[in-house]
Amino acid sequence: MPDGSVLHLPIRPIGVAGLIATQASFPVVHALVRWMAEAAAPLRAEMVLGLPTLGHVFAPLLAERLGHANWVAAGYSRKLWYEERLSVPMRSITTTAERRLWLDPRMLPRLEGRRVLLVDDVVSSGSSARAGLALLQAAGLRPVGLCVAMIQTRAWAAEWPADIPVVSVCETPRLREEAGGWVPAPG
């Protein structure tokens, strides 16, 4: 961590260190949010859009820490007033089924004309973050950056737009299991 402390995380069978925000203690979440805010401050965001589900742990706290009065939550469930045009297909490294990511049209006034920061818990394959980009694009917006607590591998980097910075608290490599345990995978 930025202060030299160590966060012990389990290794998931998919070869990544597993940060599950809903299982973290309040002191850990608050420390991560403090560091996320420091990393995101230079982006001068005016609104935070949090990605479900675990990004919702960090997004409201980060928005508050950045001095915002509120935030916007993208979601997986469609409410009666949601519009198809404000949804995109989504799949993540930890979810096998495809689902849709939705944006409440009533939240557009909070986003329009603002410097929007996309927030999630981690970026690993990048599929969730790219769905967030597509959702913002459907609303006619482009974020000023992506802020995550942890970068899990750089598998996402080749397909990520060069003009959208990604900031984080920490980074872990892809891992592979060997006879002696887990080790960083080549590349």
Q: pLDDT digits over 142-151, tens only?
A: 999 999 999 9
Pair 139, 87: CB distance under 8 Å: no
Please state the φ and ψ torsions of residue 111, each to the nearest 5 degrees. Answer: -100, -40
Q: Is the pLDDT of residue 6 over 80?
A: yes
Q: Each residue of 112-135: pLDDT tens digit?
A: 999 999 999 999 989 999 999 999
pTM recorded for the entire structure: 0.94
Nearest alpha-carbon partner for 9 in 21, 150, 171, 17:
17
Interatomic CA distance for residues 61 and 22, integer angstroms: 14
Instruction: Give the range among 7-11, 34-38, 106-110 with minimum mean pLDDT.
Output: 7-11
